[in-house]
A and B are shown apart, each in its own frame.
Chain A
Amino acid sequence: MAGITDLGVGIGWRSEIDLTVERLPGVDFVEVVAENLHIGHLPESVTLLLERGIPVLPHAVSLSLGGADEVDLKRVQHLGEIAEAVGAPMVSDHVCFVRAGGLDSGHLMPVPRTKDALDVLVANVRLAQRNLPVPLALENVAALLEWPDGELSEGQFLAELVERTDCWLLVDVANLYANARNIGTDPERFLDEIPLERLAYVHVAGGEQHGDVYHDTHAHAVLPEVLGVLDELCSRVRPPGVLLERDDNYPSDTEIASELAAIRAVVDKHRG
């Protein structure tokens, strides 16, 4: 996939912190939530970043590719149009479903890790790929539950998905950490099982422990343990890009810059 071999370190662009993103030193690329953008009137800030040559990658949250419902091609089309509008080399969404039976969950719901569910996911991903102008990367989600009767580990599930669809992987190390805390996923085994050569880029985010449950809030500081998972990943592969996601309770510019610097330090440590 030419053009995104070295994205660098980036941050999720959000309208509330648009000026912060523009001012932050060392932002190599940004990600935008595709559903928040509209063709024909991109935010001034996004246009400015594009003029500076900063890659802008659309990230979707509503394709519901893991759902049993038919894929909404209008959503796929919108994602593709946004990709073309910003000249993105790729787009992404999640390995999840967000609606069923006409109801929206409001959350990224995990997919049952069964062969049948994988068949559905593969069919939906292929349909989306056929209707997208650029490659598609899919992200592992943070789950608070595991569906019963799973036949594959999360790593095996994603590996088979990649093999059958030729999609790319967007590995969220914060989600991986959350799953380790909440449902006992082994991050090292996960990293052993997924095809790291198909890694598009990496997400890093903050969260908070509430009682026995770790919440992947994207509204708190990035924990050292999450950076530890990133460190583990970087020891195995050089990720093309690593991106900080922050969606609420935006801290000061200085704190955001510090989090980006911490991420960069982990990445650079393995680059020698």
Chain B
Amino acid sequence: MVTPMTSQTTQLSAEQVGYLTAGPGRAAEAALARLIDAGLVRVSRDGLVTAVHSNNHGATTSVEARILSYSRTAVRFDTIVQSTANSTEMAQLHRHLLDRRLMQRPRRRHEAWWFSLAIAGGLVVLGFSTPAFFVGVPIALLFFAWQRGRGPVTKAGKEVLRPVSASDRVYAVALYGFCGKVGGHRVGDLFELSQSVVKMIPLKRQRARKSSSDGGGCGSASSCSSCGSGCGSSSSSCSSSSSSCSSSGSSCGGGGGCGGGGGGD
């Protein structure tokens, strides 16, 4: 099944944006958001998700088809997000992002960690015979810390993610999650979901996104004030049939992201 492209100037679907932003849980949220937006699933006040049609009608990706199939009978909001995040369809999406070199293969990341630790260990050993080698130990450890903090999204991934904005409520979910905020509005409110429903999803800090304007790093999960001149690249204008919100381009998506469904790679 072909991953649909967006109307905005990006080559990423909402699911892909969700995955790159905060991992498979967020991608599952984005897929669910697309289905709610299209009226293909309904969510009740107490968080029961049910497919509107019984034949996966309307699914445009395998992840969406998986959600529709799983929700033929009512299933809890958090359960469907987490089970979709752990599904084989989501693993396929992950592989697709790896193939496009938008994400780094976990094994390669782990190799880099071990390599830097091995270098540090080697320098310690050498330092006992030649103390000058001790100088390299903090450098190797800093390299290790930098590697750990990099996250699985590659430079290319960050580049393609940079212009993505919360142009509609589905992308708002992809970027900030159902329990995040955009332009001062709760994303869940854009879908008329109660807070008791969106809070079913376990909170998870989302990956940092580079600011498009000042080059400084600014995580969406961090406060706007820490970014100085602006936070993120999101223009934060979003709309839906039932509600809308808008704000200036410098506004901050902020708020805690909710990723659910486990790690990012």
Which A15-45 residues sit within 8 Å CB-CB of chain B? Answer: 15-20, 43-45
A249 in the interface (beta carbon within 8 A): yes
Distance, CA A251 to CA B48, complexed state (A): 15
Residues of A contacting B223 in the complex (Cβ-Cβ under 8 angstroms): none
Could you tell me if B42 and A250 are in contact, using CB atoms closer than 8 angstroms?
A: yes
Say if the beta carbon of B4 comes within 8 Å of chain A: no
User: Does B46 touch A at the CB level, under 8 Å?
Assistant: yes
**Residues of chain A within 8 A of B43, CB atoms compared:** 19
The size class of the interface chain B forms with chain A is 10 to 19
Contact residues of A with B, CB < 8 Å? 15-20, 43-45, 249-254
Supposing A16-B74, A19-B192 touch, asked if A252 and B52 sit within 8 A by C-beta, the answer is yes
A17/B44 contact (C-beta < 8 A), A250-B50, A252-B39 known? yes
Residues on the A chain within 8 Å of B240, using CB: none
- Closest Cβ of chain A: how far from B157's Cβ, in Å? 36
A-side contacts of B192, CB under 8 Å? 19
Question: Which residues of chain B come closer than 8 Å to A43, judged between CB atoms?
Answer: 45-46
Q: B48 — nearest CB in chain A belongs to which residue?
A: A16
Query: Chain A residues near B54 (CB, 8 Å)?
Result: 249
CB distance from A221 to the nearest CB of B (A): 13
Q: Which residues from chain B contact A45 at a C-beta distance below 8 Å?
A: 45
Shortest B189–chain A CB gap in Å is: 13
Interface 0/1 of B25-56, CB less than 8 Å to A = 00000000000000100111110101011100
Return the chain B residue nearest A251 by Cβ: B52
Once the chains bind, are B39 and A15 in contact (CB under 8 Å)? no
Nearest-neighbour CB distance to chain B for A149, whole angstroms, equals 41
Q: Is the CB of A16 within 8 A of B45?
A: no
A-B contact number at CB 8 A:
36
Question: Which A residues lie within 8 Å of B52 (CB)?
Answer: 250-252
A19–B39 touching, CB < 8 Å: no
- Top 10 nearest A-B pairs (CB, nearest first) are A252-B52, A18-B45, A18-B44, A45-B45, A16-B74, A16-B44, A16-B50, A252-B39, A15-B44, A16-B48
Expressed in whole angstroms, the Cα–Cα distance for A252 and B53 within the complex equals 8
Contacts of B50 in A (CB 8 A): 16, 250
CB-defined contacts of B48 to chain A, threshold 8 Å: 15-16
CB-defined contacts of A15 to chain B, threshold 8 Å: 44-46, 48
Is the pair B46, A19 in contact by a Cβ cutoff of 8 Å? no
Query: Which residues of B sit under 8 angstroms from A20, Cβ to Cβ?
Result: 42
Cβ-neighbour of B42 out of A17, A44, A249 (below 8 A): A17
Task: Kindly provide the distance from the CB of A202 to the nearest chain B CB, expressed in whole angstroms.
Answer: 26
Q: Give the shortest distance, in Å, between A228 (CB) and chain B (any CB).
A: 26
Question: A252 to chain B: which residues have CB within 8 Å?
Answer: 39, 52-53
Q: Contact: B39 with A253, CB < 8 Å?
A: yes
- Which of B6-21 touch A at CB < 8 Å? none
Chain A nearest CB, measured from B33 CB (Å): 16
**Contact present for B45 and A44 (CB under 8 Å):** yes
Distance of A198 Cα from B53 Cα, bound (Å): 39
Expressed in whole angstroms, the Cα–Cα distance for A56 and B149 within the complex equals 56
15 contacts between A and B (CB under 8 A): A15-B46, A15-B48, A16-B42, A17-B44, A18-B45, A19-B42, A19-B44, A20-B42, A43-B45, A250-B52, A251-B52, A252-B39, A252-B52, A252-B53, A254-B39
Q: Nearest CB to that of A248 among chain B residues?
A: B73
Across-interface contacts of B42 in A (CB, < 8 A): 16-17, 19-20, 250, 253
A250 to B52, CA, bound (A): 6
The answer to whether B45 and A19 have CB atoms under 8 Å apart is yes
Most buried by B among A19, A43, A254: A19
Q: Which chain B residues border A251 with CB–CB below 8 Å?
A: 52-53
The residue in chain A whose Cβ has the minimal distance to the Cβ of B242 is: A23
Q: Which residues of B contact A16 (CB under 8 A)?
A: 42, 44, 48, 50, 74
Look across to chain B and name the residue whose beta carbon is closest to the beta carbon of A255.
B52
**B46-79 interface code vs A (CB 8 A; 1 in, 0 out):** 1010101110000000000000000000100000
| Cα-based distance from A19 to B197 in the complex (angstroms) | 13
* Bound Cα distance A15, B46 (Å): 8
How many whole Å from B79's CB to the nearest CB in chain A? 15
Report the Cα distance A253→B44, complex, angstroms. 13
Q: How far is the CA of A16 from the CA of B41 in the complex (A)?
A: 11
In the bound complex, CA of A2 to CA of B43 (Å): 37
